[in-house]
Structure 1
Amino acid sequence: MDNHLKDHIEYLLCVNIEGVRSVSGGDTSQGYLLETESELFFCKVNHADQADTLFLAEKKALEAIASTKTIAVPKVVLCEVLDKGGFLVMQYIAPKRASPQEMEHFGHQLAQLHQNSATDTFGWEADNYIGSLPQSNKVNSDWAKFYVAERLLPQLRLAADEKRLLDDEIPSEKTLLKACQTLFPVVKPSLLHGDLWSGNYIISQDGQPYLIDPATYYGHHEVDIAMTRLFGGFDTSFYGAYNEHFPQIGGEEERKDIYQLYFLLVHLNLFGKSYYRPVKDLLNRYF
C-alpha cells in the first residue's frame, strides 16, 4: 500500500495507522491488514477500471446479508474511489480452524439466510460481479429462465468469444431451457451468498461464522450448497444442520451439476483451459 493511500485512509478514519501488512485479498484485489492503536481493519485495493463498481456491489451485498440478522458479515467502514480503481475498508475478522460444532452452527445460519424471501422474483437490484467477471441480474419470475439467461448463457458466450469453447460446443438457449425446466422444481427466491466456496467464509476466534466476498442475488438455495461441494465440500456437520431446514426433495444431484456448471464456466473464463474438461463433460451429460 502506498503512503498516499495510507494517509488518505488515516484522514477518513481519523486514526493513526501504526502498521500495514500485506495479506490475501482474493483473486482480484490486493489485501492489507491495517493496525491502529485500538482496532484492526482489512483493506482491499484494486486498480482495475471497474474496481469502484465492484467494491460498491460488494458493500451492498454485505449490507443486504447483514440486514437479515441471520449470519454475520464484516462491517463495511469505507468504500471509496481512487484516481484509478478503488478501495474497501472493513472490520477485520481474525480466522481460526473450524470445529465440527462451529460448522454445524454455520449450516443452521446459512439456512436461515436462505429462508429470506423478500421478493417473488429471481435476480438483484443491480448487476454485480462473480470474481472479476460481470454478473447480470435482470429479474425474472421464472427460475429456469433466469438461470439460463442470466447465468449460463453469458458465461457460455464469453467462453466462445475468448476461444475457450467452440461455437458448436455451446447448446442453444432452447436446449438449455428445456433441460433446466425439466430438472428445476418450483422454488421461492432465497437470498444467496452467490460464491460460497471455502475461501469465502471465516470462522472467527470466538466461533462465529462470517460470510465474505459475496456475489449476492435471489435464487434457488441449492446454488450455494452446490458451490460448497465443488472443491471438496464442507464438514458433514454443516450439511446435516442445513438439511434440517431444507429437507431433500429428489433431483439434488442433477441440479448440483447444473449449478456447478455456472461456477466452472466462470473458472474457465477466469483461469483457462484446466477447467475445459469438467465444463465439456457437464455440457455433454445434460445438454
Structure 2
Amino acid sequence: MVTNHVFEPLDPSQILASLWGGGGTLASKVTRSLSMPVTFLIEKLQALFPGETFTAGGGPRILSSGGRRYYGKVGTASEMEQYHAEKRSLQLMSAAAPGLCPSVISASHEGRPYLISDYLDLSSLSAFAGASSILARRLASELHTSKSENGKYGFECPTFCGATKIDNGWYDTWAEAYNAMIGGLLDKLERRGSYKELCIKGREIQEKVIPFYLGGRLKGVEPVLCHGDLWSGNVGADTDGNPAIFDPSSYYGHNESDLAIGRMFGGFSTAFYDEYHSLRPKSEPVEEYSQRLKLYQLFHYLNHTVLFGNGYSGQSMNLANQLLKSVPL
C-alpha cells in the first residue's frame, strides 16, 4: 500500500509514540509512551532468553547482551486482528523462504497485542547490485512454490492491505477467491454511497471479466503463498545486499497477482520481471498475461480508492473499462 505515490515508510517509532496517552505534560506523555511498550517487550524477551539482558535501542529497536537486535511493537485491543495477520503472514513466509522476511521471535494477538521480530537494517533494493535479481529468484523458486496445505485459495484469517481489512476464507478455485477479494472492496465502496458508477463497473468485472480470464481458460495455476502488497516500500536490502520483504498482506493465490502492484508504482526493473519469469514462466494463455495483470492491479487501485478516495477512483474506472472492453460480449 502506498500513499499518493510518496515512498516514505512510516517510522515505527512514531507508532510506539502514539500508543499510550493519559494526563501530564507532553514530555511526560512521550516518555511514558515510549518506555511502557519497550518495558513490556523487554519483559517478553527476558522470559524467552533469561540468560541475556536487554536494553532499548531507540525507536522500535531492542538490543540484547548477546549482540542481537530486535524489532518490537505493541498495539491496542482494537488491533488484535492486524497483529495476528502480520504474525501468521511472516511465519508462513519465513517457513517458505527463510531469511527473506523478518523472523517472528514472539507475538500475541490476545489482550495486549505485540510482535517481536528480528531487526533488519535495510536500504533501498536498488542500492545493491544484484539484490533485485536475488529477490526475483527467491520469489519464483521459494515463496511462490509454497502451496496451501488444504489445496485451496485464500487465507486462514483476515489480513490487512494497508488499513483495509481483507476478510479472506478458503475457496476451491482462484476465480472464486479473487472474486471475493474484489467484492469485499466493492462492498466497502458501496457503503460510502459516493462511488455508484465505479461499483456498477466493479460488479460487471465480477460477473464477466474474472470468470473469463481466471476461469477454465487459465492453466497451471496453484494456490501459492503471496506477499500480497509487494511494492518498493515493502522491500529492501540489508547491509550485505540480501533482499528482504515485510509488511505483508498474505494469501494463497496465483503467483502473477503478487507482481501487480510493483508494476503500478515502480521500484522493480524490467530485468527483475525477466529474471522472475525465466524461473517461473507466465501462465497460459501467455497472450492474456497483460490483461490478467490489469485485473490484478484493479484490486490495488480499488483498495487505494477505499483508503484515499477520489484520487484513485478515476484510475480504477479507467482500468475497469479497459478490462470490460477486452472480453467478448
- State the TM-score, normalized to the length of structure 1: 0.87
Paired residues of 2:42 and 2:62 also in contact (CA < 8 A): no
The match for 1:105 among 131, 134, 137 is 134
Aligned to 1:241: 275
Letter in 2 for 1:280: M
Deviations 1:29-88 (A, max 9, x none): xxx233445332222344361x122111111111111112366211112324586x6332
Aligned to 1:276: 313
1:262 aligns with 2:299: yes
Count of residues in correspondence between the two structures:
274
Larger mean Cα displacement after TM superposition, 202-211 or 1-10: 1-10
Letter in 2 for 1:101: G
1:9 aligns with 2:46: no
What is the Cα deviation at residue 168 of structure 1? 6.9
Distance 1:166 1:72, change over 3 A: same
Distance 1:175 1:130, change over 3 A: closer
Paired residues of 1:156 and 1:170 also in contact (CA < 8 A): no
Map of 1:133-152 to 2, 5 A cutoff?
A: 133-148=164-179, 150-152=180-182
Paired residues of 1:10 and 1:17 also in contact (CA < 8 A): yes
Per the alignment, in what secondary structure is the counterpart of residue 171 of structure 2? coil
Question: What is the CA–CA distance in structure 2 between the aligned matches of 1:82 and 1:142, rounded to whole Å?
Answer: 32
Deviations 1:215-250 (A, max 9, x none): 111111111111211102402332121011222322
Per the alignment, in what secondary structure is the counterpart of residue 123 of structure 1? strand
Question: What is the CA–CA distance in structure 2 between the aligned matches of 1:196 and 1:172, rounded to whole Å?
Answer: 23
The match for 1:53 among 73, 81, 86 is 81
Larger mean Cα displacement after TM superposition, 187-196 or 136-145: 136-145
Letter in 2 for 1:95: L
What is the Cα deviation at residue 153 of structure 1? 0.9
Map of 1:114-133 to 2, 5 A cutoff?
A: 114-118=144-148, 119-133=150-164
The alignment-based identity, stated in percent, is 26
Aligned to 1:220: 254
Letter in 1 for 2:138: Q
What is the Cα deviation at residue 172 of structure 1? 6.8
Letter in 2 for 1:276: S
Aligned to 1:39: 68
Aligned to 2:236: 202
Question: What is the CA–CA distance in structure 2 between the aligned matches of 1:40 and 1:144, rounded to whole Å?
Answer: 42
Paired residues of 2:81 and 2:158 also in contact (CA < 8 A): no
The match for 1:62 among 61, 70, 90 is 90
Paired residues of 2:38 and 2:56 also in contact (CA < 8 A): no
Deviations 1:92-119 (A, max 9, x none): 1111233341111110000121122244
What is the Cα deviation at residue 167 of structure 1? 5.7
1:211 aligns with 2:238: no
Letter in 2 for 1:126: C
Paired residues of 2:73 and 2:115 also in contact (CA < 8 A): yes
Aligned to 2:211: 181
Question: What is the CA–CA distance in structure 2 between the aligned matches of 1:275 and 1:39, rounded to whole Å?
Answer: 42
Question: What is the CA–CA distance in structure 2 between the aligned matches of 1:82 and 1:34, rounded to whole Å?
Answer: 22
Report the aligned-residue RMSD. 2.2
Letter in 1 for 2:237: I
Give the structure with the larger helix fraction. Answer: 2
Paired residues of 1:70 and 1:109 also in contact (CA < 8 A): no
What is the Cα deviation at residue 197 of structure 1? 0.7
- State the TM-score, normalized to the length of structure 2: 0.76
What is the Cα deviation at residue 147 of structure 1? 0.9
1:155 aligns with 2:155: no
Paired residues of 1:124 and 1:139 also in contact (CA < 8 A): yes
